[in-house]
Amino acid sequence: MTDTYQTHPSNLWATPQWLFDHLARVFDIVADLCATPDTTKCEVYLSPWTDAFTEEWEWPGRAAFMNPPYRDERYKMMEWMQRAADQAEQHDTQIICLVKAATETKWFQVGWDRASAIVFFAKRLAFTLHGEKKDGARFPNALLIFGPPPTDEQLESLTHLGNVIKIGTGGLLTYEEPDAD
């Protein structure tokens, strides 16, 4: 990756903490695969411009989280998706990827073809930049879950985020707007 990646503000936006905390409770997340020292959510992390493509993502029976740089195609989304799918399959590790819900792209097709589950968020996410919460994203997001299929309990715990699709089963768990109190 280039210095543009490291310095472009849109590539330094961090995953909302509430979302990561929820995913960490649902899955046994032990590593952050596309992080900087300022954005990492885990003690173990790989940076996208140094070691994420050279290190093995090997945490059998556990999970890793990835919020790859998806500002545009120059940042290798196809390679990120293929790497996530390959590493998840090779190492029996769930890889939870937070991505732009760009269903029309070739790289998202990897999710349709190889993910074990997909979550389409019901609402736009508000990312953080340097610890400050920003307005909602200008695009919808999704979670692509590669590797061992999530349990029914794990999938059910994601339904408050949006629509959950269990790939290969035709199963769709639908989002229901919480009652306003």
Mean pLDDT, 10 residues at a time, the chain of 181 residues: 43 81 96 87 82 87 90 72 94 95 91 92 81 69 95 94 82 57 50
Task: Look at residue 181 and tell me if it is in a domain.
Answer: no
Task: Look at residue 51 and tell me if it is in a domain.
Answer: yes
CATH of the domain at 14: 3.40.50
Task: Look at residue 103 and tell me if it is in a domain.
Answer: yes
Task: Look at residue 75 and tell me if it is in a domain.
Answer: yes
> 162 CB contacts (<8 Å, ≥6 apart)?
119, 120, 121, 122, 123, 175
Task: Look at residue 163 and tell me if it is in a domain.
Answer: yes
* pLDDT value of position 178: 59
Task: Look at residue 180 and tell me if it is in a domain.
Answer: no
Task: Look at residue 100 and tell me if it is in a domain.
Answer: yes
Task: Look at residue 145 and tell me if it is in a domain.
Answer: yes
* pLDDT value of position 47: 81
Domain hosting residue 98, numbered range? 3-173
pTM for this entry: 0.84
* Closest C-alpha among 70, 44, 91 to residue 144: 70
The domain tally of the chain equals 1
Q: In the structure encoding, which two tokens stand for residue 164, read together? A: 């959950």
